[in-house]
Structure 1
Amino acid sequence: MTDSPSTLSPEHLEDLRLRTRNFIRSTVIPAEPHPGEALDAATRIRLQMAAKEAGIFAPHVSTRYGGQGLPIEHWSVIFQEAGYSLIGPSALNCMAPDEGNMHMLALIGTEEQKQRYLVPLANGDTRSCFGMTEPHPGAGSDPAALLTTATKVDGGWSITGHKRFTSGALLADFCIVMTRTEAVGGSPAGATMLLVDLANPGVRVGKLIHTMDRAIDGGHPHVHFENCVVPDSAVLGEVGKGFTYAQVRLGPARLTHCMRWLGLARRSLDIALDRIERREIFGSPMKNLGLAQELIAQCVIDIETSDAIITKTALLLATDAKAGSALSSVAKVYVSEAVCRVIDRCVQLCGGDGVSDDLPLASYLNEVRPFRIYDGSNETHKWAISRRASARRAAAVAAGEPYLADVGDEF
């Protein structure tokens, strides 16, 4: 999807970061809606046009498809700058779910699919969503519970199923739908991804799920597929390999969420630092009080630790997608919890104003709290992290490493 890393110099990356930083502060932040309100369509279009003129639009997309061509190991510094504002990623067209869908389309889509879906999506002309989550007992944190089916028909597929929490669907033009398929013509049974235009008469966007977050345009509605027929050309990748492709999408998507939210954590700390610089209490500036210093120090530690694990994971994703996807679970758990801690401390430092709409911190808490659930609950990721750790250690001991738990005969 991205251009060769060899075409990117450190100077070019730093220049792009500084231009993005300036754009967010000078153009995006003044256009932010009132805390808790969504970005309106006209403002989004205006900001995207300005981002194109500034040469910072779609940083993650190949230059072939209209982006800046950054390889994944360089996304973080730019995504953090974009995430300094809740609407920054939308302005730069690197917001979920579109960003993750662009990444997957570029990696596994046919050229025809790229021209039809990726090019307008990367240009900001269309919107998209990803249909994975289903009502219980369907797929959620456990994708193997997938219930939506796609049945082979003459010249295509007929989809029947019910998705929920389909982020962005209210404004989307198309959906990448995870379906369960039987073995067909030598292809294995399993999951298959299908590209579905939401104008298809077999699609019905249903009830909107009202959640505490507002940053994702298009909400989190239900989407119903009722004998929705799509052509064979709608298959994304290969039939039966949907779960494999899901990891292609979900590993980087988890990490880019971390990048964007870390930018918001940095914004929150700046708000708190500005607050304690000028506020006095008990005859001393707040910045000189030990309790305030403890909160600030813990924020810095969480931010820098998050930054380090994001950087390590991105480098690994660039060279070993499977290992990088595994480490992205660690990053997702740590960063989602660290960002919540940072913003919560900043609310505390700002006192009553911190929980009011006079500052945006309370709305930031509402935005970041769901990330501990979205893209797989943290508890599910911890279960997988633990299983992988146990399996790695058992394999190492079986291969000859010493067993370290022997304590000898103590009695």
Structure 2
Amino acid sequence: MDFAPTARGREYGERLATFMAERIEPIEREYHRELRSLADPWVVLPVIEKLKAEARSEGLWNLFLPEGGQEYGDVPGLSNSEYAPLAEQMGRSFIAPEIFNCNAPDTGNAEVLVKYGSPQQQEQWLKPLLRGEIRSAFCMTEPDVASSDATNMEATATVEGDEIVVNGRKWWTTGIGHPNCRFIIFMGLTDPTAHRYAQHSMVLVPKDHPGVKVERLLPVFGFHDEPYGHGEVSFTDVRLPLSAVIAGPGRGFEIGQGRLGPGRIHHCMRLIGLAETAYDLAARRSVQRTAFGKPLANLGGNRERLAKARIAINQARLLVLHAAWLLDTEGLQGALSAVSQIKAAVPAMAQEVVDMAMQLHGGAGMSDDFPLAAAFANARSLRLADGPDEVHLGVVARLELRKYLEENR
């Protein structure tokens, strides 16, 4: 593969970098300070809407959505390989993904609706999502079962005549706290007698529908990630027309697999951007601070730690770019091992780099004066989100061993 960016990818990268340097970086520290000072931080500050409008007017909007999404809104139709470096740049900021309308889980939900949604679903939910007028959430993980195995799911989406009835309890529902969250994609058990991969359905549930209740917003190492949030949500006899089912009953697993490939590229490249931010802070700290008469860089093996961090970040980036290229050229099945490899490798790398940066900052690294504690929470949580490390390592091992098992037949 050729790692050189396309002319289009380079042009978008330059424009995105300029926008972030000139308009996002100068206001981000004050933005977080203002949000934390509010009695109710679950709000969208005016500066976010202002920057969203500017990004959209300049064509830096919906960059995540590949070819085929243009008919639904402002979509440039970039490939995974073209978008991946842009996701890395956005990952250097906690607010940039929303400003460019590239925030999870909206990105994955939009991809689902482009590929599997009916015209009515696309009109009602996809188009306003791509215009940045609403936000969304995704409900899959459950508190009472081991959700690393999705076939354990107990929440139900039962067909009753021309209705679908949703019941159950979900948690770690990302985005549910956002004041503009308007709908949820809910995955539930429809037919336990069907093939194990045809038992589940995905349903579009309006957040304000009777029977839907946000029970609580969950902290991650004490961070609530306002105004996005991760919540526990209950569904009690939520009745919806059968037209709310995406692609029809029993297709939940098929949709889920199609959703996760590009989304993992996005997550991993944003994490590489996060690791780069942590690395920048660590390197600056190491040359600006002295202890025992020496710069921190010359104490306790810190030069070696910085060198190993640089190597780890660069290795991870190349691994993700390769996975993105495989997705573009061979589809999800051809990229399955590579996608699982990055999902296991990149969050662990980012966690280690952020931890190193926190150590160089001493007590300050654990405070709100620097973004490192929040970055650590983010990296650590992504070793579980979209499947724990062990599941992805199991996929890689299965695909690797298959080659040798076939040799012995």
Same structural fold, with TM-score higher than 0.5 when normalized by the shorter chain: yes
Using the alignment, how far apart are the partners of 2:184 and 2:298 within structure 1? 52
Distance, in Å, in 1 between the alignment partners of 2:192 and 2:375 is: 46
| Equivalent residues of 2:80, 2:324 under 8 A apart | yes
Do structure 1's residue 374 and structure 2's residue 377 form an aligned pair?
no
- SS of the equivalent of 1:177 reads strand
Q: Would the aligned equivalents of 2:90 and 2:273 in 1 still touch at CA under 8 Å?
A: yes
- Partners of 1:358 and 1:241 lie apart in 2 by 46
In structure 2, stretches of 5+ residues that fail to align are none
CA distance in 1, matches of 2:244, 2:201: 10
Matching residue of 2:326: 316
Cross-structure match for 1:103: 111
Task: Give the Cα–Cα distance (whole angstroms) in 2 for the partners of residues 204 and 175 of structure 1.
Answer: 12
Question: What displacement does 1:178 show?
Answer: 0.6
Distance 2:42 2:276 in 1: 21
Aligned to 1:16: 12
1:174-189 mapped onto 2 (5 Å cutoff): 174-182=183-191
Secondary structure of 2:75 counterpart:
coil
Q: Are 1:152 and 2:159 matched, yes or no?
A: yes
1:196-207 → structure 2 map (5 Å cutoff): 196-207=205-216
Task: State the 1:367 CA deviation.
Answer: 2.2
The answer to whether the 8 Å contact 2:6/2:82 transfers is no
Corresponding residue SS for 1:310: helix
Residue pair 2:44, 2:227 contacting (<8 A) in 1 also: no
Q: Which amino acid aligns with 1:52?
A: R
Structure of larger gyration radius: 1
Does residue 348 (structure 1) correspond to residue 356 (structure 2)? The answer is no
| Mapped partners of 1:237, 1:341: distance in 2 | 41
CA–CA separation in structure 1 for the residues paired with 2:170 and 2:290: 52
Cα distance, 1:198 vs structure 2 = 1.4
Tell me if 1:254 matches 2:264: yes
Match of 1:67 in 2: 75
Structure 1 counterpart of 2:157, one-letter code: A
> What percentage of residue pairs aligned between the two structures are identical?
32
Residue 4 of structure 1 is matched in structure 2 by: none
Query: 1:219 aligns to what?
Result: 229
2:253 is the alignment partner of 1:243: yes
Change in Cα spacing, 1:250 to 1:124, as seen in structure 2 (3 Å) is same
What do the CA deviations read for 1:98-153 (whole angstroms, capped 9, x no partner)? Answer: 1111122112212322222111111111111111111212x611100111112222
Query: Aligned equivalents of 1:348 and 1:170: distance in 2?
Result: 32
1:404 corresponding residue in structure 2: none
Work out the CA distance in 2 between the residues paired with 1:39 and 1:297. 40
Aligned to 1:394: 405
- Structure 1 spans left out of the alignment, 5+ residues: 1-8, 399-411
2:41 aligned with 1:45 = no
Aligned to 2:309: 299
Is residue 177–residue 231 contact of structure 2 (8 Å, CA) maintained in 1? yes
Q: Is the 8 A contact 2:157 2:187 kept in 1?
A: no
Q: Is the 8 A contact 2:215 2:232 kept in 1?
A: yes
> Contact 1:247–1:325 (CA<8 Å) still a contact in 2?
no
Query: Matches of 1:336 and 1:142 in 2, distance apart?
Result: 20
Q: Which residue of 1 is the match for residue 58 of structure 2? A: 54
What is the root-mean-square deviation in Å for CA atoms of aligned residues? 2.5
Alignment size in residue pairs: 388
Of 94-103 and 206-215, the range deviating more from structure 2: 206-215
Q: Which moved more, 1:287-296 or 1:12-21?
A: 287-296
Q: Name which of structure 1's ranges 198-207 and 355-364 shifts more when overlaid on structure 2.
A: 355-364
Counterpart of 1:337 in structure 2 is 348
Match of 2:394 among 383, 396, 403: 383
Q: C-alpha displacement at 1:283, in angstroms?
A: 4.6
Answer with 69-78 or 280-289: which moved more.
Answer: 280-289
* CA distance, structure 1, for counterparts of residue 395 and residue 144 of structure 2: 21
> Relative to structure 2, which stretch is displaced further, 297-306 or 250-259?
250-259
Aligned-partner SS, 1:115 = helix
